Amino acid sequence: MRIFNNFTFNPKDDILSGLTVALALVPEAVAFAFVAGVPPMVGLYGAFMMGLITSLFGGRPGMISGATGAMAVVMVHLIQQGNQVGDALGEPIENLGLYWLFITLLITGVVQMMAGVFKLGKFVRLIPHPVMMGFVNGLAIVIFLSQLGMFKTNVDGEMVWIQGNQLYVMIGLVALTMGIMYALPKITKKVPAALTGIVVVAMITIFGGLDVSTVGSFIREGGGDGLAGGLPTFQAQIFGVIDTMQGHWGLIFSTAVLLAAVGLIESLMTLNLVDDLTETRGSGNRECLAQGGANIVNGLFGGMGGCAMIGQSIINVNSGGRGRLSGLVAALALLAFILFAAPLIEQIPIAALVGVMFMVVIGTFAWSSFRILNKIPLADAIVLIAVSAITVWQDLAIAVVAGVIMSALVFAWKNATMIRARKSIKEDGTKVYEIWGPLFFGSVQGFNSKFDPKTDPNKVELDFIESKVTDHSGVEAVRNMANKYLDLGKEIKLTHLSPECIDLLMRRNPEFDTIIERSIEDPRYHVVTDTLDREV
């Protein structure tokens, strides 16, 4: 496997889209750093390291990773707890919660890499379409709501909504950015619309002398020192920091696992979405390895970690960034902005970046879901709405897990009611049960209710030509039913079972060899239990 396969398809598009994404990464990384309660530079360096490593080694060319809100929300409690412990020490350790986070990220990265080693990334393909639509809808709403905070300003330490001319100017600049992004692609696609919108609005505010919120003022209002500020200095040896974690390892490990789960779910869902947009297919397992490696590097070198970013990934793809070069350019440009162009980047109006993100919201939201709600099964509609609501109310991981569980239960219930048994009598008096439908844990009760061993004739045949025994519960149901007839001294034949199912029955009951009838018409498929046994 080549490490740098799909490095670039169109260098110009990859470079320009990467620059556009880098500009959008700055305020996002800063905002999410504030959410997590860490210094802005920790968020910026975290976005750089995530973007650099995943762009080169990830499983989806063109996908952008960085500091994200979903993971920032999970970090908050850990960082607060660590800071409280640091403040309570006889010799207080400043930013102790941040150092706890770095150690937690090491564990998070290992968990994510193990998911890649054991090839768990493929299971994201099992996520139902209603869950996917609910995910993108909920995420679009979350992105929209996160941008509303940009319409606030710091007054005497309290964030209040801007008003009057300041509000009107903000709305006008946002609308101008959105208008450029909407209209420019209809004229030409050679120039990235998002980058053009940002540059035009920035020029208007700079040369027009407009007093508006900028990236620099946004960072300072949040308590930062601007993009020129450095990383916090360690005031304790690493072993001293680890000593403070005694009694808190449960919190460390639980946070690490939750961060790993949230990061992988958001990354793999984004990978699926980009797959659909580009009509190509990425590697979920390779992405797990890259995400884990990037978070380990963040833990070692002082970044806040992160995962794939759906908003920036869509910006990149829609701007023409389809190769790994686009992500590499975005990461390196972000680092260059931090090191060399901080004064210029600080002058970019927040309104321009809000406009870009609002267009991402419009492009992300599955508007077709409104049209199909009354055309899809009620259960799917409920799942779609529920996942959207839970994503906004709780977080992405909980929403997706809840959606998958709901869909699985609906599927199991529907299939559980499909089991049938057609009854007939042969000329020799043998009663035949022709089983139809899947036999699994959900349909076992229905399967058992079809039989009456006590009143049935002395000869009985169970024909599975139109049924499929899919799991261990189904195999056990067949075994138990056969034993009921045998215990009553009656003859029973099992016909048209798959070789895999026969093998499992024979392991427990070798004497079944006399009641199983084999033929060339027997179906062939693997029972879940059989597959797991062989893997173990």
CATH number for the domain harbouring residue 472: 3.30.750.24
What is residue 534's predicted lDDT score, i.e. its pLDDT?
42
Q: Percentage of the chain surpassing pLDDT 70? A: 92
422 and 359 fall within a common domain: no
What is residue 526's predicted lDDT score, i.e. its pLDDT?
58
Give just the sign of the alpha carbon dihedral 32, 79, 225, 156: positive
316 and 217 fall within a common domain: yes
In a domain, 251, yes or no: yes
In a domain, 344, yes or no: yes
Average of pLDDT values for 75-95?
A: 86
In a domain, 188, yes or no: yes
Residue matched to tokens 């797991």: 532
Q: Which two tokens stand for residue 115?
A: 């998911």
In a domain, 379, yes or no: no
335 and 422 fall within a common domain: no
In a domain, 34, yes or no: yes
Quickly state the pLDDT bin for 258 (edges 50, 70, 90): confident
Q: Which of 367, 382, 408 is the last residue of a domain?
A: 367
219 and 114 fall within a common domain: yes
Q: Is residue 516 scored above 60 in pLDDT?
A: yes
CA-closest candidate to residue 59, choices 395, 241, 294, 222: 294
73 and 204 fall within a common domain: yes
In a domain, 315, yes or no: yes
CA distance 83 to 80: 5
Q: How many CB atoms lie within 10 A of CB 281?
A: 13
Q: Which residue has the higher pLDDT, 191 or 386?
A: 386
345 and 429 fall within a common domain: no
pLDDT in tens, 329-346: 999 999 998 888 778 778
**Range of weakest confidence among 177-186, 224-233, 307-316:** 224-233
Average of pLDDT values for 254-269?
A: 89
357 and 459 fall within a common domain: no
- C-alpha to C-alpha distances, 35 to 74, 150, 311, nearest whole angstrom: 10, 13, 18
CA distance 21 to 321: 10
Instruction: Report the interhelical angle of 40-57 vs 284-301 (nearest 10°).
Output: 140
pLDDT in tens, 464-509: 988 888 888 999 999 999 999 999 999 999 998 888 888 888 888 8
CA distance 429 to 178: 79
343 and 450 fall within a common domain: no
Please give the radius of gyration of the chain, using alpha carbons only, rounded to the nearest integer.
Answer: 29
Q: How many CB atoms lie within 10 A of CB 252?
A: 18
CA distance 43 to 323: 25
What is residue 229's predicted lDDT score, i.e. its pLDDT?
58
Total number of domains constituting the chain: 2
68 and 210 fall within a common domain: yes
Q: Is residue 110 scored above 90 in pLDDT?
A: yes
Intra-chain end-to-end CA distance of the chain, in Å: 28
pLDDT in tens, 343-397: 877 888 889 888 888 888 888 788 888 888 888 899 999 999 999 999 888 777 7
CA distance 43 to 55: 18
pLDDT in tens, 140-174: 888 888 888 888 887 777 778 989 999 999 999 99
Q: Which residues contact 209 (CB under 8 A, 6 or more apart)?
A: none
Quickly state the pLDDT bin for 522 (edges 50, 70, 90): low
120 and 254 fall within a common domain: yes
In a domain, 92, yes or no: yes
Q: Which of 307, 339, 367 is the last residue of a domain?
A: 367
For residue 307, what are the β-bridge partners? 66
In terms of residue numbers, what domain contains 462?
Answer: 417-535
345 and 273 fall within a common domain: yes
In a domain, 372, yes or no: no
421 and 357 fall within a common domain: no
Q: What does the mean pLDDT of the chain come to? A: 86
Q: Which residue has the higher pLDDT, 266 or 51?
A: 51
